[in-house]
Every structure is written in C-alpha cells, then in structure tokens.
C-alpha cells in the first residue's frame, strides 16, 4: 500500500506521540492520535506533575526537524550551569560548559506539548481525539479497543500502531511486551514532590534564572528550574523510607523543621510549602527496559513506553524526541518502506542507546545529590573542562556529549568510562587545579579515540 494511504494510529498524545504524528503526517500518512487526557490546549497545567523540563540538543534537533525550533525556543529559559546551594547558605556556580553557546533550557512540559498539539491540529492528515484511552490491541485483526470519557468502548482499525502512551503503557501490556523475558521495571526507593517558588512581589525571579539550582544533601536533594512567569518549580527528591524520608514528613511542623534545617535559603521563598507538599502528588521514579519494542511488524513502542528512565540526566523527553528523529531518518533512507524490517532495525539500533542513558541517568542521581558538593568532584569537573580546552578533538566531558551533542548514548557511555579513569588518575594525589600534571594528561588523552564523526 502506498504510504499516503496507510493509517497510523498513535496511542498517547504526549511529547513523543504528538511529535511523531507530525513526522508521519509530513510524509503522507493518515494519522490518528488517541490521548487519554483532556485537550490541554487553552488550559492551565495540573500541579505536581513535572511541570518544567530541561530541553537539550537532542530535543531541539527533533523539534527543528518538524520546523518548531524557533517557536519552542521562545518558550525556554537558558540554564548555563548548576548553582549549588550549600547548607550554610553559600552558593557555587558550576558552568555546564566552557562554550557560551552550550547550555540547557528550561521549558514548560504542558507548554511544549500544547505547541506540538496545536501544530498537529493544523495538519490536514492528523486527527486528534482526547479523553480516549487505548485499552486493548488485537494484532491479528489490526484493531484496537478505545474507551472514551463516558466509558463507552469502540473498535478502530490501523495499518501501523505506535505505542507512545508513557511509562505505564497499556499498549505495551496488550502487545504482550511485559513478559519477564523481555521486560523489567526497577523502581527507585526515592520519590519526588513538586513545590512552587513564586516570583517576588516586584515581579522578579526569586533567584538567578540562568541556572538549574541544586541543594545537594547526600542521600536526597532539592532542585529548582525557572519558569517563563518568573516562578521556579522546585522538586524534592527524597527516599520513601528513611531519616529523612517521605514516611517521616507527615505533618506541617516536621516538614517546616526539615526545610528550615536543610534548605534555609529556599524555605523563605516557598510561601505555600505546606499546601504544595500535602496536596501535590508524590511521584514515583523508575527505570523500564524492554528488549522488544515491536510485534508483528506493524506495532512499535517508543518514548517512555519503551524506555522510561529516572530524570537525573534531564534526558527522558530528549531521548523520546530522539527516538522520533532516528525513526524519521530511517524512513527517509528508504524509498519503499518495509515496516517490519524498519521497526526491527529501529529497535536494534536504539535499545543499546536507551539502555546506556538509563544507566547514566541512575549514576547522575549520585552526582547531583552528593558529588556536586564534593571538593574532589569539583576538581575533576574543572580538570575535565580544561582537558576539553586543550584537547578538543579527543576530550569532551560526558555531560556535554549527552546534552550538547547527538553522539549515540552508548558511545557516550563508553567514552565517559575512559574519561573517568583519566580524571581519577590525574586527580588522585592532587588537591588543587594548579598541581595537575598536564604532560601526563596529554599522554593519557592521546590514547582516546577521536570524537569526530560520531553524531547520529
Ligand atoms: P508521556 O509524556 O508520559 O506521554 C504519554 C501520553 O500518553 C500522556 O499524554 C498520557 O496521558 C497518554 N496515555 C497514557 N495511557 C494512554 C492510553 N492507554 N491511551 C491513550 N493515551 C494514553 N525529561 C527530560 O528530557 N528533561 C527533564 O528535565 C526531565 N525531567 C523530568 C522530571 C521528572 C520529575 C519526571 C518524572 C520526568 C522528567 N523527564 C525529563 C522525563 C520526561 O517527562 C519523559 O521522558 C517524557 O515525558 C516522555 O514522553 P512520552 O511522550 O514518551 O510519555
């Protein structure tokens, strides 16, 4: 069948689903998007569900591919580094890069989703349906059962089905991709809670907007990202059970005492702390890995449905967007697309990369909550930036490769391990930057493979 006649159904009109709809529609497919929630266009965001996100190069590239880079950019605030808030109230700024054009951006999740849905609703090949959940898939018949807001069930047919229905994917389950041999879900023993830091009475940001703020406290942390309305969304990441843990923060007095003790400079800027803490949901965090994303050659999972990761590298959405740009590039490389082989090739090329970012995201939790406050870590970070300065072809720090480049995550992971060994060697008997042995550095770095030509 010619591609203009093929009917693609996308379950989930979130970030990945709405972007994918645009990619398919622009290539002539008839696209139906079924979204469980109500239409968020023209609505305020519900509180407590990761309101803002860090958008980096992989995400920007994917938005650029559908002509939305400029519109998306207008919704973002540059964050040029981490601003560390120590317990004594002092702060340190750790830049993300030595290049002024390399930074990450804070973006509103509902704002970005709205932009994608608006663009999709203007495309003649796309039909959007809200308050419609995919509840079942029949792979033989190529039909799905959809439930509307009134609970009425109806059947729809598809030529291609894409499961972009997030970490709790009903499509994944119905396709039989949750059996123990292909699926694993590891919940973190930490959860998160969002808290609002409004703008000051004079309308200014309460803290510098040019940074991702972190209060690292060893086994837990508070972070804050700026919003366009000059507020910040703060997120507390804390063990479920522990001292401290969510299990202990059960009344307003204990909560306030904990914040006064640990986050004194933030607490005075959080006027609705108790309200937010006790009324916003506590979000769980986990890693989902599937070793199979496709069945029968006409159904494919992508985004969080295929690979949910913990948020500590700020990559879940960026990685979901990259799924779409990789799929789109693979489609462009073929004149007559054979979907079963394309879906198989997509899965095989992508899974090693999504597993790699899943691992790196888990490692980054330790870096954010613990290491950024550590002198040794700060020294290694400074040395890493200097190595990049001296040997730009061989050395680009792992954070930069993830956030400012499109080098496959698997390559970044391997490169990062080699770099980490070099940094540990160079810093092992050194307490300050001035005593680093740059001759040894040159020898060690010269053994690294060149990073040129590694982009997707
Ligand atoms: P989702 O955004 O979950 O979208 C899935 C959609 O499917 C939803 O709209 C849902 O309503 C719909 N749906 C669900 N079930 C059905 C069904 N049965 N039928 C139809 N529709 C259905 N990523 C970053 O890149 N940077 C960050 O800074 C970042 N920070 C984060 C902070 C937190 C606290 C969390 C939890 C996540 C963060 N992420 C971040 C990850 C990011 O939110 C996800 O990776 C991203 O939302 C994945 O997009 P998606 O479209 O695959 O899934």
pLDDT of residue 308: 98
Residue 164 pLDDT grade (very low, low, confident, very high; cuts 50, 70, 90): very high
CA–CA dist 97, 404 (Å, integer): 9
Instruction: Give me ligand 1 centre to Cα 223, in Å.
Output: 19
pLDDT of residue 155: 98
**Which residue's CA lies nearest to atom 53 of ligand 1?**
166
- Backbone phi and psi for residue 189, each to the nearest 5 degrees, phi listed first: -85, 20
- Read off the pLDDT of each residue in 91-119 and give the average, rounded to a whole number: 95
pTM, to two decimals: 0.95
Among 136, 195, 311, residue to substitute to test ligand 1 (most atoms within 8 Å of Cβ): 311
Is 86 within 8 Å of 373 (Cβ atoms)? Answer: yes
- Read off the pLDDT of each residue in 174-186 and give the average, rounded to a whole number: 95
**Which residue's CA lies nearest to atom 34 of ligand 1?**
50
CB of 25 within 6 A of ligand 1: the answer is no
CA–CA dist 158, 298 (Å, integer): 9
Instruction: Give me ligand 1 centre to Cα 15, in Å.
Output: 7
> What DSSP letter does each residue of 100-148 carry, written as one string?
TT--EEEEEHHHHHHHHHHHHHTSTTEEEE-SEEEEEEETTTTEEEEEE
Among 59, 165, 224, 354, residue to substitute to test ligand 1 (most atoms within 8 Å of Cβ): 165
CB of 50 within 6 A of ligand 1: the answer is yes
Instruction: Give me ligand 1 centre to Cα 272, in Å.
Output: 26
pLDDT of residue 4: 57
Instruction: Give me ligand 1 centre to Cα 315, in Å.
Output: 11
Is 256 within 8 Å of 274 (Cβ atoms)? Answer: yes
Q: Between β-strands 81-85 and 232-239, what pairing exists: parallel, antiparallel or unpaired? A: unpaired
CA–CA dist 444, 16 (Å, integer): 40
CB of 301 within 6 A of ligand 1: the answer is no
- Read off the pLDDT of each residue in 279-306 and give the average, rounded to a whole number: 96
pLDDT of residue 380: 93
- Read off the pLDDT of each residue in 72-93 and give the average, rounded to a whole number: 95
Atom of ligand 1 at shortest distance to CA of 16? 51
pLDDT tens digits, one per residue of 369-411 = 877 778 888 899 899 999 999 999 889 999 999 999 999 999 9
pLDDT of residue 49: 52
CB of 36 within 6 A of ligand 1: the answer is yes
pLDDT of residue 243: 93
CB of 416 within 6 A of ligand 1: the answer is no
Instruction: Give me ligand 1 centre to Cα 456, in Å.
Output: 24
**Which residue's CA lies nearest to atom 47 of ligand 1?**
317
Atom of ligand 1 at shortest distance to CA of 133? 19
pLDDT of residue 367: 82
User: Cα 315 from chain centroid?
Assistant: 3
Q: Does the N-terminal peptide bond of residue 244 adopt cis geometry, omega within 30 degrees of 0?
A: yes
Instruction: Give me ligand 1 centre to Cα 124, in Å.
Output: 26
Residue 48 pLDDT grade (very low, low, confident, very high; cuts 50, 70, 90): very low
- Angle of helix 15-26 versus helix 57-65 axis, rounded to 10: 40
Residue 450 pLDDT grade (very low, low, confident, very high; cuts 50, 70, 90): confident
CA–CA dist 276, 264 (Å, integer): 17
The pLDDT of residue 112 is above 60:
yes
CB of 170 within 6 A of ligand 1: the answer is yes
C-alpha torsion angle, residues 86, 92, 98, 99 (rounded to 10): 90
The pLDDT of residue 50 is above 60:
no
Share of the chain above pLDDT 70, in %: 96
CB of 317 within 6 A of ligand 1: the answer is yes
235 contacts: CB under 8 Å, gap ≥ 6: 50, 192, 193, 194, 195, 222, 223, 224
Share of the chain above pLDDT 90, in %: 88
CB of 320 within 6 A of ligand 1: the answer is yes
DSSP structural state of residue 39 = P
Bridge partners, 77 (sequence order): 106
Mean pLDDT of the chain: 94
**Which residue's CA lies nearest to atom 45 of ligand 1?**
316
Residue 144 pLDDT grade (very low, low, confident, very high; cuts 50, 70, 90): very high
Atom of ligand 1 at shortest distance to CA of 18? 51
- Read off the pLDDT of each residue in 343-355 and give the average, rounded to a whole number: 98
The pLDDT of residue 45 is above 90:
no
pLDDT of residue 455: 52
CA–CA dist 43, 40 (Å, integer): 5
């Amino acid at each position: 069948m010619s591609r203009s006649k093929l009917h693609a159904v996308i379950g989930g009109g979130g970030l990945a689903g709405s972007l994918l709809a645009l990619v398919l529609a622009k290539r002539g497919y008839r696209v139906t998007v079924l979204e469980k929630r109500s239409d968020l266009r023209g609505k305020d965001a519900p509180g407590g569900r990761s309101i803002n996100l860090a958008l980096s190069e992989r995400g920007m590239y994917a938005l650029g591919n559908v002509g939305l880079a400029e519109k998306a950019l207008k919704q973002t605030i540059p964050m040029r580094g981490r601003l560390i808030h120590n317990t004594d109230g002092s702060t340190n700024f750790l830049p993300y890069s030595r290049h002024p054009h390399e930074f990450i951006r804070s973006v509103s999740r509902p704002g970005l989703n709205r932009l994608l849905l608006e663009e999709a609703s203007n495309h003649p090949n796309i039909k959007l349906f809200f308050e419609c959940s995919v509840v079942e898939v029949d792979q033989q018949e190529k039909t799905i059962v959809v439930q509307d807001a009134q609970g009425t069930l109806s059947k729809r047919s598809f030529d291609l089905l894409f499961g972009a229905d997030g970490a709790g994917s009903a499509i994944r389950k119905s396709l039989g991709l949750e059996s123990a041999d292909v699926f694993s879900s590891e919940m973190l023993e930490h959860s998160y809670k969002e808290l609002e830091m409004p703008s000051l009475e004079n309308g200014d940001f309460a803290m510098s907007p040019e940074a991702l703020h972190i209060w690292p406290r060893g086994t837990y942390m508070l972070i804050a990202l700026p919003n366009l309305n000059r507020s910040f969304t703060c997120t507390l990441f804390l063990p479920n059970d522990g001292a401290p843990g969510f299990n202990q923060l059960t009344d307003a007095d204990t909560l306030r005492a904990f914040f006064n003790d640990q986050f004194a400079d933030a607490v005075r800027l959080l006027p609705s702390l108790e309200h937010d803490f006790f009324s916003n949901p506590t979000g769980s965090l986990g890693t989902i890995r599937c070793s199979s994303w496709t069945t029968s050659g006409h159904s494919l999972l992508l985004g969080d449905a295929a690979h949910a990761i913990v948020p500590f590298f700020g990559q879940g959405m960026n990685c979901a967007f990259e799924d779409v740009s990789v799929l789109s590039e693979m489609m462009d490389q073929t004149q007559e697309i054979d979907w079963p082989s394309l879906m198989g090739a997509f899965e095989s090329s992508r899974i090693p990369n999504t597993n790699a970012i899943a691992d790196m995201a888990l490692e980054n939790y330790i870096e954010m909550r613990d290491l950024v406050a550590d002198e040794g870590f700060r020294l290694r970070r400074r040395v890493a930036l200097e190595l990049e300065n001296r040997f730009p072809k061989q050395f680009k720090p792992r954070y930069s490769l993830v956030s400012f480049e499109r080098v496959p995550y698997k390559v970044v992971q391997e490169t990062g391990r080699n770099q980490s060994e070099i940094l540990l060697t160079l810093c092992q008997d050194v307490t300050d930057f001035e005593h680093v042995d740059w001759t040894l550095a040159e020898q060690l770095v010269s053994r690294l493979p060149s990073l040129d030509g590694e982009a997707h």
